[in-house]
Structure 1
Amino acid sequence: MTDLPWGPALLFCPADRPDRFAKALERADAVILDLEDAVDPAARPAAREAVLDTPLDPARVIVRINPAGTLDHVADVEAVRASPYRTVMLAKAERVTDFAALDGLRVIALCETAAGVLAAAELAATGGVIALMWGAEDLVASLGGTASRHPDGRYRDVAVHARSAVLIAAGAFGKAAIDTVHVDIGDHDGLAAEAEDASAVGFAATACIHPGQVEVIRAAYRPSDEEVAFARDLLAAAGETAGVFRFRDRMVDGPVLRHAEAVLRRVGA
């Protein structure tokens, strides 16, 4: 897992609601000001003005911009360059040429179409890209489907495949991976399970759409006291031992030590 400069809970906020900007940033580790799906196309010019006119800490702001090849994309990039913000999330990223206008910006490539998932490795290998994120709903829409989840809330196989493909592509090129939103706002148990799994397999963060989801995500990414103590004891034992060794009835080798290091990295130790 490659780290991001923020904590694990990234909160989307519609860019046409400047009254919510500061509150969203106060609640989350970083805020994603959304100029794309959360804003009616007719309201996007006013939303860009709101992004420019409502000051926030630039270090904790991401601006989601519209897909390359659209007029909104051009206007979004102009607005970002006129702002203090230097991290963008490119919606529906599908090819390296989509980054043509983003030189000098930190880019999160949002792989949320069939073409984007297939191109994930190529996108991750591109300079300026700091992370990949995947999206379930747009992906299924791009396939002509109607639902990313089974009735019981589990992701359908195609969504599971896309999630894994984007995570592996990001990791292969040393980039962070961000897990997608849990759209059932009241389903905290389901969100917790997904965020715990995301943390376990190497996602650096999970995006969310409601302030009430932030603490659920943070708790899921936070190692327990027992996990932290075990990781510290294991690494201390490893410092006195060469090669593979046995620790509390477990075989320990290099990958297991890296797991322990990741646990401590989660708590800043």
Structure 2
Amino acid sequence: MTTFPMGPALLFCPADRPERFEKAAQRADAVILDLEDAVAFEDKEQARENLAASALDPEKTIVRVNPVDSTSFRADLEALAAANYRWVMAAKAEDPGKIGHSLRHLSVVALVETALGVLRAPEIAREKNVAALMWGAEDLLASLGGESSRRSDGSYRPVAVHARSAVLLAAGGYGKGAIDSIYGNIADTAGLEEEARDGAASGFAAKACIHPGQVAAIRSVYAPSEEEKARARDLLEAAKGQGGVFSFRGEMIDGPLLRQAEQTLRRAGIPG
């Protein structure tokens, strides 16, 4: 898992609802103030004014702007500059060059949520100002002419699984953080926990969410259990003085397993 300075629970908040800004920031590890899909076109100017007038912690605030080729993009950047936020989420990221140039003075979370964006994910991750990649399921399926990213049982369709993996690999390959997509069924806490657990185990540094009630489930899954922490400590202690592969509690241990144990302790905020 590549580190990311925010998370594990990133909460979207519509920028046209300023009364929710502080509450969202207090409830989550970081807030994503949304100028894009969560705001109707006729409300975008007021949303920008709300953003410019806000004063959240810039180290825990990300602003999702409209795509770089949209008519709203330039105005979004002006509002962002007025608010003095330095983290931006680039919606529907597809063009590495435009992201690198248009947002060159900002730290970028590239939201990869179209077919072309997934295909170009490694090129996007390579850009110096890109700090993390996030993937989006429903816009991706829409870009393919599909109707839903999930089956009736809540599991992802194969094309969504592929995109999720592709974005994670692209981020990891270039040392950038990876953020898992939202879980839309707010009432299904068990499903959210299962998906977040898989994301944490796979290497996602954080997961986005759309409701404050989802924050606790994400945090609980990303925080290692006492048993997991104890095992990681014991394993790393047993590794001291070992020259190579060794046995630990009936399991053969090598370098990758030691790095996984170190990652478990990092997730818990404990030095390895």
Normalized against structure 1, the TM-score is what? 0.99
Indicate yes or no: 2:212 matched with 1:199.
no
Partner residue, 1:33: 33
Q: Work out the CA distance in 1 between the residues paired with 2:71 and 2:146.
A: 27
Q: Distance in 2 between matches of 1:103 and 1:6?
A: 20
Aligned to 2:173: 172
What CA distance in whole angstroms lies between the structure 1 residues aligned with 2:83 and 2:58?
Answer: 9
SS in 1 for 2:227: helix
Distance 1:70 1:241 in 2: 57
Q: Aligned with 2:175: secondary structure? A: coil
Q: Give the 3-state SS of the residue equivalent to 2:83 in structure 1.
A: coil
Structure 1 stretches of 4+ with a deviation exceeding 2 A read: none
Letter matched to residue 217 of structure 1? I
Q: Which runs of 5+ in 2 are unaligned?
A: none
Task: State percent identity of aligned pairs.
Answer: 60
Q: Provide the C-alpha distance between the structure 1 equivalents of 2:154 and 2:96, rounded to a whole number of angstroms.
A: 34
CA deviations 1:85-120 (Å, max 9, x no partner) are 000000000011231211110000000000000000
1:189 corresponds to: 190
Name the counterpart of 2:240.
239
Any idea what SS the aligned residue of 1:88 has?
strand
Q: Deviation string for 1:28-85 (max 9, x for gaps)?
A: 0000000000000111111011011121111100000000111101111111122220
Q: Is the 8 A contact 1:77 1:101 kept in 2?
A: no
Residue 50 (structure 2) pairs with residue 50 (structure 1)? yes
Taking the aligned partners of 2:167 and 2:76, their CA distance within structure 1 comes to: 25
TM-score by length of 2: 0.98
**Equivalent residue, structure 2, for 1:60:** 60
Question: What residue is the counterpart of 2:20 in the other structure?
Answer: 20
Q: Secondary structure at the match of 1:181?
A: coil
Does the alignment pair 1:76 with 2:63?
Answer: no
Q: Is the 8 A contact 2:134 2:179 kept in 1?
A: yes
Q: Residue 103 of structure 1 aligns with which residue?
A: 104
- Superposition deviation, residue 7 in structure 1: 2.5
In structure 1, how many angstroms separate the alpha carbons of the residues matched to 2:215 and 2:72? 29
Give the secondary-structure state (helix, strand or coil) at the position aligned to 2:269.
Answer: coil
Q: Distance in 2 between matches of 1:159 and 1:22?
A: 33
Count, aligned residues: 269
In structure 1, the residue matched to 2:4 is 4
**Partner Cα separation in structure 2 for residue 230 and residue 151 of structure 1:** 37
In 2, the alpha carbon distance for the partners of 1:32 and 1:63 equals: 5
SS of residue in 1 equivalent to 2:102 = coil
CA deviations 1:140-198 (Å, max 9, x no partner) are 00000101100110100000000000000000000000000001111101100000000
Q: Distance in 2 between matches of 1:97 and 1:7?
A: 27
Output the CA distance in 1 between the equivalents of 2:126 and 2:103: 15
In 2: Cα distance, 1:92 partner to 1:257 partner: 37
Q: 1-side partners of 2:267 and 2:165: how far apart? A: 21
Structure 1 residues not aligned, in runs of 5+: none
Alpha-carbon distance, 1:128 to partner? 0.5
In structure 2, the residue matched to 1:221 is 222
**8 Å contact kept, 2:55–2:83:** no
Report the equivalent of 1:160.
161
The SS at the match of 1:104 is coil
SS state at 1:3 partner: coil
Distance 1:145 1:98 in 2: 27
Return the letter of the residue paired with 1:115. Answer: L
Structure 1, 53-62 or 135-144: larger mean CA deviation: 53-62
Alpha-carbon contact 1:13-1:33 (below 8 Å) kept: yes
Q: Is the 8 A contact 1:110 1:133 kept in 2?
A: yes
Alignment RMSD? 0.7
